[in-house]
Amino acid sequence: MDVAHRQILLLFSLICVPYVSGTHFSFPRLGALRRTIRIRPEAESISSVSKDFKTIFYSQTLDHFNYKPESFTSFPQRYVINSKYWGGPNTSSPILVYFGAEESLDYDLFGIGFLRDNAPRFKALQVYIEHRFYGKSIPFGSREEALRNASIRGYFTSAQAIADYAAIILHIKKTLSAKNSPVVVTGGSYGGTLAAWFRLKYPHVALGALASSAPILYFDDLAPQVGYYAIVTKDFKETSESCYETIRKSWDEIDKVASEFNGLSILSKRFKTCKKLKRSFDLKDYLDSIYSEVAQYDHPPTYPLNIVCRGIDGAPKGTDTLGRIFAGVVAYMGNKSCYDMDEFNHPTDETYIGWRWQTCSEMVMPIGHEHSASMFPPSPFNLNKFIRKCKSLFGVQPRPHWVTTYYGGHDLKLILHRFASNIIFSNGLRDPYSSGGVLENISESVVAVYTVKGSHCLDLLPEMKTDPPWLIKQRKTEVQIIKSWILKYYTDLTEFRDRTRV
């Protein structure tokens, strides 16, 4: 094994250590799509969709904000266009852009339906842009090289990412002679936050933004640290009181068994872990991730939270607490020969590795467990311990206040009211991340569109015949708002042209 591979394996081994060993659970994952059960279209639908996609690699600038020699280094950044329904530049037909976030763009092309479903309605060009350092858009072509080199890793920021998006959008408009085509940007979760920030930072590039399930207030002390898990608890309690009670009691039961002679072996057998547990925390973190995921992505028509609770509540009479918990795991994860405790935080997963860096640099989201009414054990967010762990991992100190400094945070609603326009903040109130979202109208054009029964980024998923009426209504409202932006743009464009002729 060469030196480079030994170094990257060392980095991975460090990264897979929890932030605060044994005391702090893994941060809930962001992302528009579920990690464990992603949308996998049938082969024929893949081929029918993919033939309309054209993949292009843009020579992207490594550093948009400096003029040092190395700043002008370039790397290939992937974007994908679909012009099937585009009315073309002569009619100034719009461009719908989806911002890729903390994963490869591949799943978004099939899992995100908002652009594909609405392109015919708007006669729009569809554009999907991959986030730097993910998928195939990695400086120097190697994730290992990029992550191992601290200097290169320093260019892995949200500000650089949205500057990338601006450069690619302007390049597309120039290449296609689409100067007057209005651009509406869209993103979900972290990508939704980027879309909102993009509209604030680049209003001359994007006419408007749809920010789906964007936890834009989950920084500094803008939202309650316990907000996320308070909603997870509420979702479970509303679904099944007995399921909620079983989960709430299970944590002490796990600790009780773990404290016994050979207790970790007993837990390993009872939960069929792929590797013998070295500590009970790993099992608890795994269960925490399952409960968070099913609450966050509790999408119709399957409603995975119901699946977990049916497994827990439906266990045979006489089944003890841990047996019921395991039945919930099997109901959701499937009947496997063993269960990988790293399923949600695998040390070689690109999202896990990349997002760990982003949270250790600028995307510091203080999420913690509460006590009393929560179905989770206490695990408050400790900033000092978080900083120490990040310094041990990457040799840098997180900047927990940078997001609110750079993009705005304190009094954000007042700032949005005074300076922003044409942003839709869409949320579902059963989504735990809605606790950090904008849930009220800020102005006539900065609006909140939410559903009481909705979940994380549900409005961005492909339209289905089984969609409930409230979801159909939410999407219709969003489309109507975007139409109003575009119509006003065309009016302004005509008036401006008339004035210049005089």
Query: pLDDT, tens digit, for every residue of 155-179?
Result: 999 999 999 999 999 999 999 999 9
Local confidence band at 239 (pLDDT 50, 70, 90 cut-offs): very high
Above 80 in pLDDT, residue 260?
A: yes
Positions annotated as catalytic residues are 189, 431, 456
Q: How far apart are CA 333 and CA 317, in angstroms?
A: 22
Chain centroid offset of residue 45 CA: 25
List Cα–Cα distances, 66 to 128, 248, 442, in angstroms: 27, 51, 35
CB 218 within 8 A of CB 367: yes
Average pLDDT over residues 34-51: 53
Percent of the chain residues past pLDDT 90, beyond the cut: 77
Residue 48 has pLDDT above 80, yes or no: no
Calculate the average pLDDT of the chain: 90
pLDDT above 80 (res 3): no
Lowest mean pLDDT among 187-191, 301-305, 342-346: 342-346
Predicted pLDDT of residue 34 = 85
Q: What is the mean pLDDT of residues 115-123?
A: 97
Q: Any idea of the CA torsion for 277, 278, 279, 283, to the nearest 10 degrees? A: -30
The 10 Å Cβ neighbour count of residue 320 is 12
Mean pLDDT of 45-50: 54
Q: pLDDT confidence of 347, banded at 50, 70, 90? A: low
pLDDT at 17 over 70: no
pLDDT tens-digit map of 293-335:
999 999 999 999 999 999 999 999 999 999 999 999 999 999 9
CA separation for the pair 162, 154 (Å, rounded)? 15
Percent of the chain with pLDDT over 70: 91
Mean per-residue pLDDT for 442-447? 95
| Each residue's pLDDT tens digit, 481-492 | 999 999 999 999
Q: Residue 301, preceding bond cis, omega within 30 degrees?
A: yes
- Who's near 321: CB < 8 A, 6+ residues apart? 246, 249, 250, 253
